[in-house]
Amino acid sequence: MAGASLYGQADVPDAPDVPGAPAGGGLPYGLDRLSNPWTRFLTRRLARLLVSVFVVVTATFLMIHLIPGDPVRAALGLTAPADLVESRRESLGLNEPLITQYVSYLGGLFTGDLGTSMISGTPVSEIIADRLPQTALLGSLAFLTAVAIAVPLGLAMALLTRDGRRRGVELGFTSTAAVMSAIPEFLLGVALVAVFAVSLGWFPVAGMSGASSFVLPVLALALGPAMALARILRVEALRVLGEDYVRTARAKRLPRRLVYRRHVFPNALTSMLTIGGLVLGAMLIGTVLVENVFAWPGLGMTIVESILQKDYPLVQGVVLVYGTSVLFLNLAVDVVLGIADPRSTIRES
Amino acid sequence: MRTARWRAALRTPLGATAAAGSLALLVLAVAGPVLWGSAAEETDVASMNQPPSGDHLFGTDDLGRDVLARVLVATRTSLGLALGATAIGIALGLILGTLPVVLGQRLGRMVVALVNFLVAFPALLLALFFAVIFGLDARGAMLAIGMAIAPSFARLVQTLSASVAGRDYVSAARIAGVGRFRLIRRHVLPNIAEPLVVNATMGAGGALLAFAGLSFLGLGVQPPTYDWGRLLGEGLGRIYVNPAAALAPGVAVVVAGLVFALLGETCAAVLGVRTGRGPVAGRARHAEQPESGKEAAGTGGDTVLHVDNLTVAFPAERGTSRAVDGVTLGVRAGEAVGIVGESGSGKSLTALSAAGLAPASATVSADRLDVAGVPVLASSEAQLRDRLGTSVAMVFQDPTSSLNPSMRVGRQLGEIAQTHDGTSRAEGLRRAVERLTWVHIPDPQMRAGQFPHEFSGGMRQRAMIGMGLMGRPQLMIADEPTTALDVTVQREILRLLRDVQHDSGAAILLISHDIAVVSQICDRVLVMYAGRIVEELPVDRLDGGAVHPYTRALLASVPDMSTPQDVPLATIAGRPPEPSERSPGCAFAPRCAFADDLCRSTDPVLEVVGPQQRAACWHPQRAESVSGGTAGEMPGGTAGQSPEQTPARVTTGDDQ
């Protein structure tokens, strides 16, 4: 009703500004216009990824050299004979100049050689290949579970509490969600074990053995993020419900479910994606703690064991895997965001 | 002032809980080791791994030590390490965050890039990385967590100081030659302290949880020292024997984490929200008014909109406030009717309510409210959908926000045909392209496949009008359709609306604050003030024929080619009353030069004052009185005396 425009900037006068476009020509839905920004976006983003991966690789390489004192002496203990320490340093190449070590580290990476475990003598790449699938499975199941809980819950809560309805439900949901999302995954894991494994005996306490062994670790990992996401989604959906274009949809007199499905939900979900990406990254690392609660035979167990045993080549390898996974996840989220939101940054130069 | 705010915060449930929790943690941290230190160390081989009992509320550990005592004693270690890590994180964050200001452009940009890079990684991964370097003990873990949380603090400091650095006083200081470090200490830091405190408090909670995680993994505190995380890890190993030994430290971590979170929220409430919430306006609920203007104009058989005594009320602090108060109007088929009024006069609400689209919080009542022969108030949503779906179209003020940003324009139009006419998606799209052609959108085929943000403002409004033409509208309600548009575009949209009216035969109800806009395409004008219609007249009578002082003031404030440039434009002094503040009598009386005691005590009703003309005024002004040279006595006179007041005046496209 206000006299002034809600948007400060002056609109572009609508001159017929597309003289070049042939009438009815081009690809349907303006794909011909999209392809260009997409190529630019992906090139730029991949270049950034490459730089980031390079930084992560360098950091993991330097990690072992930043440890005060002699890492081999620290690993083998003070009582280890000096010649054993010396021969181990030799085999790890620690006596070479730093730059030579760096070059051979990089060269090894290109051939898939991540070094050899100081404890077991197994190639690090072999250990990672053995452990990674369990972690990836746990992480992706947990992410799917979190989304499967958060999306219907958040949207339903938004609809139930719209226009200030059901204050009681709103208070109950927001406070439960706040508390749930504040409980870290490993504490939740311990509580779940105590109740559902030890007291009730419904699920196995630990280990990976059949479908029932997945339930508690996945829940421990998924519940907190699910509640956090549901909370954000509710707020976003309430915001969208107040948007002018939802009023337009109502003015079109679409059935209510169509208003929600086409006009409210897509816009609410799009604005939730950025947060969703952060949650996904945090969940990936959350597997470290949850795997240790449930003795899950994945990378998270490996990284903690290797740190405790000072098995540095293995530590380096696993940190590298976690670090690059985070980078690739971030890229994936950016791409999904670009597809989902036509106004996203991909169109910027 | 500030202490008062803190004291007020303590009285809220949130603040009180946060304060009590913090106090309890503090007392435990100080007194815990003194009170229970010996009990926590006392081994008892006779009662190892006991479940909870009278002697040991949470049982004992594998050396027979009391779990509860150990959890309580561990408060000091856990909190101390968490606070230490937070302090390290803040210190590093401040350094990294302010470096860009201190360093030159290029180095500064590198620091920003580094922080952005680090922020992308979850804190726990960074903590593991640094824990390897700093060693597996309490000191190493504290450093590692401090460094892991530093990037997010650095990002915060960068964002905050960048906003401060752009302000005038910082620029002034820089020009005055103040050194970079001094600039940071004197000007930047004090101004970002408050958000930093809030984030630090919440960050301490995060550090506490992270520390518990590291110690739980065995990478933090090492025996014989213990913190909650360590106790949790030990308890988990014996969870079959005594689950309480694992749960007790877990509960401690969660409770302490929540206390930090609540404390942060309280700080945010006190520091962040500076403006106190003023009393909600509106107490005087005005007395029952006699129903005004019962006899509706335009109530012939071919009426497409028939509104009789429409009232729209909102819940107010006491009772309700009526934003629309007894409006009666009618629109005949093919007619163009304008409603004019200032912001808050109730004109848009009248239109929305007529279409059955009033906000959910509004209470709409009317003796009769028929649109295209359908009783809106008595119909269900589904009935309205069936019967009004294609016969009433709406055009809203801001086409930018009124179109769904994530849906292609063609689809947004096409779904109307799909829903109401049951067409296929392809047929809906084909019809959409056709309608876009009707509203003169160039290359409609291509435009239909685009998103709204790829349209210009005027084109979006054309698309909205095209959307209205998807059905067979008998009535098109246009709510300030040109207000958000560029002046040059306004005329094109108005011309398009007029063409649409001629070609489709739809009646138009045009809502505007601009009497000049309305006079361009309407046959009849309704002037609204404070929720009521104060005058209704044919558009050709506007020029000299208006009798209500408000209408005349509106007309006088429209500049035209003969308006002298050296005299300030006419405005109406004062502002309309809030719906909840209306006093008895004519609502315009406080701003009216002709008001007397009768006006201030009794509300005038809408009465016929001429052919097809009605006005609600005790002192209708005749055309002669204008020519009689009383222009200087126009209500409010010529303005300039109070520039902050909002006049109901706009320029029109005609001046261009």
Domains annotated for chain A, with CATH where assigned, are 51-110 (no CATH), 132-307 (1.10.3720.10)
Distance from CA of B182 to the nearest CA of A (A): 34
B120, B396, B450 ranked by CB distance to A244: nearest: B396
Q: Cβ of B406 and A164 within 8 Å? A: no
Instruction: Show residues of chain B in contact with A288, CB under 8 Å.
Output: 124, 128, 217
φ, ψ dihedrals at B104, nearest 5°: -75, 180
pLDDT band at B300 (very low <50, low <70, confident <90, very high): very low
Report, as an integer, the average pLDDT of B299-323. Answer: 79
Instruction: Show residues of chain B in contact with A296, CB under 8 Å.
Output: none
SS3 of B611, please?
coil
**Which string of b and e fits B374-404 if b means at least 16 CB within 10 Å?**
bebeebeeeebbebbbbbbbbbbbbbbbbbb
Report, as an integer, the average pLDDT of B134-142. Answer: 86
User: Which residue from A minimizes the CA distance to B229?
Assistant: A187
Q: How much of chain B exceeds pLDDT 70, in percent?
A: 84
Q: Cβ of B446 and A252 within 8 Å? A: no
pLDDT in tens, B633-652: 444 333 333 333 334 333 33
The verdict on B124 touching A (C-beta cutoff 8 Å) is yes
A67, A191, A315 ranked by CB distance to B247: nearest: A191
pLDDT of residue B648: 39
Q: Residues 499 to 518 of B: which have CB under 8 A from any A CB? A: 513
The answer to whether B350 and B339 have CB atoms below 8 angstroms apart is: yes
Compute the distance between CA of residue A32 and CA of residue A24 in angstroms, rounded to an integer. Answer: 13
Report, as an integer, the average pLDDT of A210-225. Answer: 87
Residue B237 CA from chain centroid, whole number = 51
SS3 of B498, please?
helix
The verdict on A244 touching B (C-beta cutoff 8 Å) is yes
pLDDT band at A132 (very low <50, low <70, confident <90, very high): very high
Report, as an integer, the average pLDDT of B334-362. Answer: 86
pLDDT of residue B577: 74
Q: Residues 135 to 194 of A: which have CB under 8 A from any B CB? A: 162-164, 179, 182-184, 186-187, 190-191, 193-194
Q: Which residue has the higher pLDDT, A25 or A296?
A: A296
The verdict on A206 touching B (C-beta cutoff 8 Å) is no
pLDDT of residue B410: 92
Q: Cβ of A198 and B243 within 8 Å? A: yes
pLDDT of residue A97: 81
**Which string of b and e fits B615-652 if b means at least 16 CB within 10 Å?**
bbbbbbbeeeebeeeeeeebbbbebeeeeeebbbbbeb
Compute the distance between CA of residue B450 and CA of residue B439 in angstroms, rounded to an integer. Answer: 16
The verdict on B246 touching A (C-beta cutoff 8 Å) is yes
Compute the distance between CA of residue A83 and CA of residue B98 in angstroms, rounded to an integer. Answer: 49
Q: Cβ of B385 and A253 within 8 Å? A: yes
Q: Residues 54 to 73 of A: which have CB under 8 A from any B CB? A: 55, 59, 63, 66-68
- The residue assigned the tokens 């216009």 is A33
DSSP class per residue in A263-330? IIHHHHHHHHHHHHHHHHHHHHHHHHHHHHHTT-SSHHHHHHHHHHTT-HHHHHHHHHHHHHHHHHHH
pLDDT band at B568 (very low <50, low <70, confident <90, very high): low
Instruction: Say how many CB pairs under 8 Å bridge A and B.
Output: 249
User: Which residue from A minimizes the CA distance to B255?
Assistant: A183
- Report for A198-207, A274-283, B229-238, B515-524: range of highest mean pLDDT: B515-524
Q: Cβ of B243 and A199 within 8 Å? A: yes
- Average pLDDT score over chain B: 79
DSSP structural state of residue B529: E
CATH class of B2-42+64-271: mainly alpha
Q: Pick from B193, B204, B221, B313: which is nearest to B264 by CA? A: B204
Q: Give the full edge-to-edge strand order of the sheet including B336-340.
A: B392-395, B475-479, B507-512, B336-340, B524-529, B532-538, B613-615, B607-610
pLDDT of residue B221: 85
Q: Answer whether residue A19 shows pLDDT above 60.
A: no
Report, as an integer, the average pLDDT of B305-326. Answer: 84
Q: Cβ of B398 and A184 within 8 Å? A: no
Q: Answer whether residue B284 shows pLDDT above 60.
A: no
Evaluate the CA torsion angle B9, B10, B13, B18 in order and state its sign.
Answer: positive
pLDDT in tens, A293-347: 888 898 999 999 888 888 888 999 999 999 999 898 888 888 887 777 766 654 4
Q: Cβ of A327 and B459 within 8 Å? A: no
Q: Pick from B63, B32, B35: which is nearest to B50 by CA? A: B63
pLDDT in tens, A229-284: 888 888 888 888 888 888 888 888 888 888 888 888 888 888 777 777 778 888 88
pLDDT in tens, B81-110: 999 999 999 999 988 888 877 777 788 888
Distance from CA of B656 to the nearest CA of A (A): 14
The verdict on B381 touching A (C-beta cutoff 8 Å) is yes
SS3 of B300, please?
coil
pLDDT of residue B88: 93
Q: Cβ of A244 and B217 within 8 Å? A: no
Q: Pick from A92, A97, A86, A87: which is nearest to A108 by CA? A: A92
Q: According to the CATH classification, is domain B292-529 in 3.40.50.300? A: yes
The answer to whether A147 and A227 have CB atoms below 8 angstroms apart is: no
User: Which residue from A minimizes the CA distance to B455?
Assistant: A14
Q: Answer whether residue B277 shows pLDDT above 50.
A: no
Report, as an integer, the average pLDDT of B128-151. Answer: 88
Q: Answer whether residue B496 shows pLDDT above 70.
A: yes
pLDDT band at A45 (very low <50, low <70, confident <90, very high): confident
pLDDT of residue B562: 66
Distance from CA of B496 to the nearest CA of A (A): 13
Structure tokens at A208: 């990976």
- Average pLDDT score over chain A: 80
* CA distance readout (Å), B265 to B10, B170, B201: 12, 30, 9
Q: Cβ of B129 and A12 within 8 Å? A: no
pLDDT of residue B296: 39
Q: Cβ of B212 and A184 within 8 Å? A: yes
Compute the distance between CA of residue B625 and CA of residue B593 in angstroms, rounded to an integer. Answer: 14
Q: Answer whether residue A225 shows pLDDT above 80.
A: yes
Q: How many CB atoms lie within 10 A of CB A64?
A: 20
Question: Left, alpha or beta for B366 (phi > 0: left; psi -120 to 50: alpha)?
Answer: beta
Locate the domains of chain B by residue range: 2-42+64-271, 292-529, 542-637
Distance from CA of A215 to the nearest CA of B (A): 18
Residue A221 CA from chain centroid, whole number = 12
pLDDT in tens, B367-420: 888 888 888 888 888 888 888 888 888 888 888 888 888 889 999 999 888 888
Compute the distance between CA of residue B443 and CA of residue A23 in angstroms, rounded to an integer. Answer: 5
Q: pTM value?
A: 0.74
Instruction: Show residues of chain A in contact with B240, CB under 8 Å.
Output: 198, 205
Compute the distance between CA of residue B141 and CA of residue B225 in angstroms, rounded to an integer. Answer: 13
Compute the distance between CA of residue B432 and CA of residue B409 in angstroms, rounded to an integer. Answer: 9
